[in-house]
Chain A
């Protein structure tokens, strides 16, 4: 184990990029030969076009990103696997947990159910884009102050959702916060502290 760690440090290959490379090799190996040949020759337009990538231009955290991606790539996978913005978490990957919540044109959405190509020309904000340089966003400060997490896995989604909960005008009472935060599940059960954090930011009156 020690040798392996040393080796990784030495080669500079992180576990993440190793896994990415190895899964790419697997994907190529799994693509049936006739399909690749058909694609090359343009024999089967349907299959060829299915394998093709498409250009995507999207503003992410204020930076214009131009990439080519397969149509089946979700916004969540684009963020994590291509752009290495791993703050946005993959929980259920089925729109049931809210860990993947990001803002698209200022509105909170589940990035796991958003095909990345549908964000063409739009503005995406992730947890990495919320702070102002080294100054944390008031909601990030409040989650720290109120201990709004335990393991922290749902926290980026909770915070992104919480910011919109206030912006939408749905943080007037603890009950309203609970209803309008219902799309974010916390398996550690930090709910009471999360509600406290949101109510505190709301009552503090700072711009979110």
Chain B
């Protein structure tokens, strides 16, 4: 690992000020992805600003929902009674991610900021527009089994690896960030971005901004939820495809529904068209299948991941079926 300087901060203000001092500085939270990237030479900050002592780890009920601090550990969120009661989809998604050890370290903000696990991004001997803009994309025409089927560009076909983010985009979460110019709010669906011509930018966070909290508004979708993650082994692997479904069902009809996918795009992939189509219709497998087909209209595969064109709709149907079958 390259050498770097280290500063430990205890307030939001000092954290933001420390970032402004050094253009290569980065925030350090759980470190589960950043330390690994530094070992691999993919990311080489000259200064780490350790924010672990900031008081941003609380999970609290507000008038309109739950507010989860950016430094709340993944385990703490997944096991939190309020989260399980109001947003079981978030708990399920978190538990599908990583390993118990990593979930004890990883934070909400860090989970959002984690980088793709594309092999070409990690291998510094390979071309990668995300790691080294302009160097090309090794995955296009290369080994691309894990890669995107939605929203990719000719510069990058990487996917965002998070499970937690799939649940948060489905639940209409709002991200609060703070920077030198004060605080601002970003709807979760606008936090991450598609690669376009600038795949080096994973998200719309400005340089020096710090994630403070994620707010999830209350909904009526907690009774029928399911997060289904399909991967190469039963546990502790990144998703080939995942689907998060949350529904409100009255008298057999879907009165409200949220649907999102992971492992298919550069950002957590919300399926709003399918949601709109399902609303008001009976919760039947036939309708779930039609919604899944509708979701795939814009899908485009690479040589190595054509199986996702079948796996993805099947995963959506299975997630919806399992969610609908909850008591």
List chain A positions with a Cβ less than 8 A from chain B. Answer: 46, 49-52, 54, 70-72, 74, 93-95, 98, 101, 107-110, 113-115, 117-118, 120, 161, 164-165, 168, 170, 178-180, 182-184
Contacts and interface: CB of A to CB of B under 8 A. Distances in A.
Contact of A161 (B32, B52, B100): B100
Interface stretch (B2-10, B137-145, B251-259): B2-10
Interface string B31-47: 11001101110000011
B31 A113 contact: yes
B48 A71 contact: yes
B90 to A, nearest CB: 18
A117 B22 CA distance: 20
B8 A108 contact: no
Contacts of A180: 100
B156 to A, nearest CB: 23
Interface of B: 1-6, 8, 22, 28, 31-32, 35-36, 38-40, 46-48, 50, 52, 75, 98-102, 104-105, 234-236
Contacts of A93: 39
Contacts of A107: 75, 104
B8 A72 contact: no
A161 B103 CA distance: 13
Given A98-B99, A161-B100, A182 B236 contact: yes
Contacts of A183: 98-102, 236
A94 B101 contact: no
29 contacts: A50-B4, A52-B5, A70-B3, A71-B4, A71-B5, A71-B6, A71-B48, A72-B1, A72-B4, A94-B36, A108-B101, A109-B101, A109-B105, A110-B32, A110-B101, A113-B31, A113-B105, A114-B35, A114-B105, A115-B6, A118-B50, A118-B52, A165-B100, A178-B235, A179-B234, A182-B234, A182-B236, A183-B100, A183-B101
B288 to A, nearest CB: 27
Contacts of A164: 100
B272 to A, nearest CB: 32
Given A109-B101, A109-B104, A161-B100, A95 B5 contact: no
B100 A49 contact: no
A115 B38 CA distance: 11
Nearest to B35: A113
Which of A72, A74, A93, A184 lies at the interface centre, i.e. has the most chain B CB atoms within 10 A of its CB? A72
Contact of B6 (A94, A117, A165): A117
Contacts of A109: 101, 104-105
A109 B98 CA distance: 12
B43 to A, nearest CB: 13
A98 B101 contact: yes
Q: Which 3 A-B pairs have the closest CB atoms?
A: A183-B99, A71-B6, A182-B235
Contacts of B50: 115, 117-118
Contact of A46 (B40, B46, B48, B75): B46
A117 B101 contact: no
B5 A49 contact: yes
